[in-house]
Structure 1
């Protein structure tokens, strides 16, 4: 990505609306510093409940990123896609390039980069999808050559716009266990990494803070994930031989239901005025601890090497 920046007019960075802080990747902050950037919070429909809290949250997020523009998007909504495309067109017009504009879309795994690219292409040039999408991260494995999302307009002297898709880039370090659970719950981590029952247990904890009534057709309010999964198994027929509840299958089903907006639509991160500042402080602390650990490890290796030489 770094080697291509000299050819790129605009960076479109995607983040998951449900984890506005946890889906922030400090690698982009370092590598893309100084580049014109549009930040798009995808999957807004899965975290928004249409209340005043959404307006306040989005105002805070927008202030975090000033002077960069922030858009909140559901790629299934044409008006949202149009707003992203209009900004891309304005950027291209301002550049007045003879060869057209090249833009790059970046973000964490499975935040909706390829889906947004496909939606922009459909809206801009009326053509079908070109980027493969999937429920699990890692579908896009290499940097694309550039997909046309806006045709040239010879009458107005405007050149075409091309958007480069990129693989998801995971954070270099995860600050704590809950951050990892949030990313896994949103699908940025493959489902094989964290045991499904553990992920479902965390989801139950979050759902109980919103409304236990979300699972009332399966069980009364509970903090016991095993009893809930067993109740779901009996209700949905997910049973193994001998009528034994298939709790792992039910855990995956429960997580997928939430990802599709069927077990509540809510944000996992706490969005406050100083939230970004606290996140950056935590990142610096983690980096400092990692650097100290590496330094001690090197010193230990040197001491062991000296001892071997002395004994040999």
Structure 2
């Protein structure tokens, strides 16, 4: 009998729906105060969840400035030569420019692919600066959900743009950047290239004082009305691994892997819809065992999740990319996104009900 993957994932109504922390709120407020000094807002979104990693707070709070949407981790979402999703996503944004940036060395295109994508972004930013000369330089604000790759992007732009080393801390878990930073030069000024060859001087003519990028902490959505969206964000690392039980998250990942290709975990198990036997097999193969040689399913779940995050257990999108999916997302957002105060009340009530149900057992 041939394997039949699940067509839907069981509703997980008890999962947390909020990860809007104190430094998220203060960071957003700081961004607003800086807005008058900013020439371009760069919003980063995770290519694997192009709809779910959108935070409407940025559009409402940072309105009135030129915007660029950058989809990070492009190579973790599918083959480099498959541009169909890119075309659809670009159409979603209408007149707002969109670019796609790759990770370093995570697929067959490797470092060269990353350098090309970062180079295209630098060209866009240089040309944007040249349209309005400023002696003090252009200032860009990079924003996005937690752990979508803002600081990694800053480091890549700085390294390739001005040949300088890493300046922003990065990490596998969200929350590494907790404060709005100062501007970091990513494109040289006209004075910087004065001693270079004529071609370089022509290339940077009009950039004035150069281009500076301001890094910011990731800002989560105040409330996620859909439990599946929360699991998608957790899988991509936008919330800490302790927020959602790892076995539940690994099961959700298994659901998606089976819809793509069960052979992605063939070295550990035949196709299965049951996460526990798969995690036990992974534990045995990787040595993640507890007392008495029992499989540590939680550690195995975290290992499985991390393997997917780095592209070693499939590269695919968790969101559906289609005009219909976009319209559905917009309709849900308009109907369900509450204010921050409402979000806090809803989350408090959910926790109260959950605590009461546990106490009554």
TM-score, normalised on structure 1? 0.90
Q: What is residue 273 of structure 1 aligned with on the other side?
A: 323
- TM superposition shift of 1:175: 2.5
Render the CA deviation track for 1:206-236: whole Å, top value 9, x for unaligned: 1000111111111111111111111111122
CA contact (8 A) 1:75 1:81 kept: no
- TM superposition shift of 1:50: 3.7
C-alpha change, 1:162 and 1:208, in structure 2 (3 Å) is: same
Number of residue pairs matched by the alignment: 294
Render the CA deviation track for 1:8-30: whole Å, top value 9, x for unaligned: 01111100000000000010111
The 3-state SS of whatever aligns with 1:104 is: strand
Instruction: Identify which of structures 1 and 2 has the higher relative contact order when contacts are C-alpha pairs closer than 8 Å and 6+ apart.
Output: 2
- TM superposition shift of 1:160: 1.3
Match status 1:139 vs 2:139: no
The 3-state SS of whatever aligns with 1:166 is: coil
- Structure 2 unaligned segments of length 5 or more: list them: 1-30, 105-113, 195-204, 347-361
- Structure 1 unaligned segments of length 5 or more: list them: 297-312
C-alpha change, 1:295 and 1:171, in structure 2 (3 Å) is: closer
Q: What is residue 72 of structure 1 aligned with on the other side?
A: 100
Distance, in Å, in 2 between the alignment partners of 1:75 and 1:236 is 26
Distance, in Å, in 2 between the alignment partners of 1:293 and 1:61 is 29
Q: What is residue 199 of structure 1 aligned with on the other side?
A: 249
Match status 1:7 vs 2:31: no
Q: What is residue 234 of structure 1 aligned with on the other side?
A: 284
- TM superposition shift of 1:294: 9.5
The 3-state SS of whatever aligns with 1:95 is: coil
Render the CA deviation track for 1:273-295: whole Å, top value 9, x for unaligned: 13222212101211369999999
CA contact (8 A) 1:75 1:116 kept: no
Distance, in Å, in 1 between the alignment partners of 2:274 and 2:58 is 39
Q: Of 260, 278, 301, which aligns to 1:210?
A: 260
Root-mean-square deviation (CA), in Å?
Answer: 2.0
The 3-state SS of whatever aligns with 1:258 is: helix
